[in-house]
Amino acid sequence: MRLDYIKVWKLLGVSKLPAEPPISRLGDPPMDFLLTADPEPYFVHIDKSRALANGLLKGLFKGEEDGSLDERLVSEIGAAKARRAKNQRPGCYLIALAVTDAPEPKFEARRDGADFEVAIDGLDKEAVHKTYRPTIDALLTGLALRLPSNADLRCEEIGSVIFLTTNDAKPLYALSFKIGSAMLSVASLPPADLLDVAGSLAAKILDDTKLRRPIALLTSSINNTSDPLQAYLDGWNALEIFVQSVFKSTYDARWREIMEAGVPSAAKPVVDRLVEVMSDKYRLADKFLIIATILHPENAADDDTEFRRLKKSRDGVFHGTDDPADVFPTGAIQRLLLKYLHTHLQAAK
Other CB atoms within 10 Å distance of the CB of residue 73: 23
Residue 95 and residue 166 in one domain: yes
Q: Are residues 262 and 291 in the same domain?
A: yes
Domain total in the chain: 2
Mean pLDDT of 6-12: 93
Q: Which residue has the higher pLDDT, 63 or 144?
A: 144
DSSP strand pairing (24-26 vs 31-36): antiparallel
Residues 17 and 140 occupy one common structural domain: yes
Q: Taking the mean position of all CA atoms in its chain, how far away is CA 134?
A: 8
Give the pTM: 0.78
Q: Is 116 exposed, middle or buried (0-12, 13-18, 19+ CB in 10 A)?
A: buried
207, 226, 256: which is the final residue of a domain?
207
User: Residue 26 pairs with which residues in a beta bridge?
Assistant: 31
The whole-number pLDDT of residue 279 equals 66
Q: Give me the percent of the chain exceeding a pLDDT of 70.
A: 83
CA dist 248 and 256 (Å) reads: 12
**348: phi then psi, degrees, rounded to nearest 5:** -65, 140
Q: Kindly tell me if the per-residue pLDDT of 254 is higher than 70.
A: yes
Q: Does the structure show a pLDDT above 90 at 344?
A: yes
pLDDT tier at 58, thresholds 50, 70, 90: low
Nearest to 7 by CA among 224, 162, 171: 162
Residue type, 47: D
Are residues 224 and 154 part of one domain?
no
Q: Which tens digits make up the pLDDT trace of 77-108?
A: 887 788 777 767 788 899 999 999 988 888 77
Q: 106 and 176: one domain?
A: yes
What's the pLDDT at 181? 37
Average pLDDT over residues 226-245: 92
Name the band, by pLDDT with cuts 50, 70 and 90, for residue 316.
Answer: confident
Q: Are 147 and 226 in a shared domain?
A: no
pLDDT digits (tens, 9 = 90+) for 262-301: 777 776 777 676 767 666 778 999 999 999 999 999 999 9
Could you please report the per-residue DSSP string of 127-196?
HHHHHHHHHHHHHHHHHHHHS-TTS---EEEEEEEEEEE-TTS-EEEEE------------BPPPTTHHH
Say yes or no: 135 and 269 in one domain.
Answer: no
Q: What is the mean pLDDT of the chain?
A: 83
Average pLDDT value for residue range 201-215 = 93
Phi-psi region of 3 (alpha: psi -120 to 50; beta: other; left: phi over 0): beta
- Domain shared by 228 and 248, yes or no: yes
169: Cβ–Cβ under 8 A, 6 or more apart, which residues? none
Query: Of 156, 180, 207, which one is at a domain's C-terminal end?
Result: 207
* Domain span at 75: 2-207
* End-to-end C-alpha distance for the chain, whole angstroms: 41
Tell me, yes or no, whether 171 and 85 share the same domain.
Answer: yes
Same domain, 125 and 83: yes
Asked if residue 173 and residue 88 are part of one domain, the reply reads yes
Read off the pLDDT band of 62 (50, 70, 90).
Answer: low
In this prediction, residues 3-8 reach a mean pLDDT of 95
Specify the pLDDT at position 86.
Answer: 74
Q: What is the pLDDT of residue 323?
A: 54
Q: 109 pLDDT band (50/70/90 cuts)?
A: confident
Last residue of a domain, one of 164, 182, 207: 207
176 and 221: one domain? no
- State the average pLDDT over residues 303-309: 95
Task: Using the predicted structure, report yes or no on whether residue 67 has a pLDDT greater than 60.
Answer: no
Instruction: In whole angstroms, give the CA distance from residue 141 to residue 241.
Output: 16
